[in-house]
Amino acid sequence: MSKTPAKASKPKVLQLGRAVEWPHTPEEAQIDRVPNPQRDTNYVVRFTAPEFTSLCPVTGQPDFAHLVIDYVPGQWLLESKSLKLFVASFRNHGAFHEDCTVAIGKRISAEIKPKWLRIGGYWYPRGGIPIDVFWQTGKLPKGMWIPDQGVAPYRGRG
């Protein structure tokens, strides 16, 4: 009995340059990558999402954060439109601050396989307590300079 060869999976079509539906969930969101034309050079790419929104999984109230994602690309670059759509997919997603921050970092890392990645989630206070969450992959390549993420610790009005 002969086996039918497995179908080759269709390559993903980039979302860039065309109208696409907003993803309803982070799992549904497609993260696109493009070839890194400078893969023989170590350098840092930074994305900032100062208006990140998700929902508290207990109360359903909105939570807000300023996200900063730094990475040293390998073979792939993270395509920015797909990142925007992925980040927006959290608007109706219920998860704790820690889960959102780490899940975003892990998903991006799995998709683009950077040499190094760091995400800082600077969450605005609810209940009087701000929460900052940080996650990174492995060790920074030798000789790399990484700028401060530039988000001051929350100090309130004082």
Alpha-carbon span 70 to 96, nearest angstrom = 22
Task: Yes or no: say if 141 and 124 are a contact pair by the CB < 8 Å rule.
Answer: no
CATH number (domain holding residue 94) = 3.30.1130.10
Whether 14 maps to a domain, the answer reads no
Whether 148 maps to a domain, the answer reads no
Q: Tell me: the pLDDT tens digits for 86-107?
A: 999 999 999 999 999 999 999 9
Domain that holds residue 58: 33-128
Q: How many domains does the chain have?
A: 1
Q: Is 79 annotated as a binding residue?
A: yes
Task: Write down the pLDDT at residue 154.
Answer: 78
Q: What is the mean pLDDT of residues 104-121?
A: 98
Q: pTM for this one?
A: 0.90
Q: DSSP class of residue 57? A: T
Q: Is 93 annotated as a binding residue?
A: no
Is the pLDDT assigned to residue 115 strictly greater than 90? yes
**Amino acid identity, position 145:** W
Active site residue 63: yes
Q: Is 66 annotated as a binding residue?
A: no
Active site residue 56: yes
Whether 11 maps to a domain, the answer reads no
Whether 66 maps to a domain, the answer reads yes
Whether 61 maps to a domain, the answer reads yes
Indicate the burial class of 108 (C-beta count within 10 angstroms; 0-12, 13-18, 19 or more). buried
Q: Considering 32, 40, 63, 148, which one is annotated as catalytic? A: 63
* β-pairing verdict for 76-78 and 33-35: antiparallel
Whether 151 maps to a domain, the answer reads no
Whether 77 maps to a domain, the answer reads yes
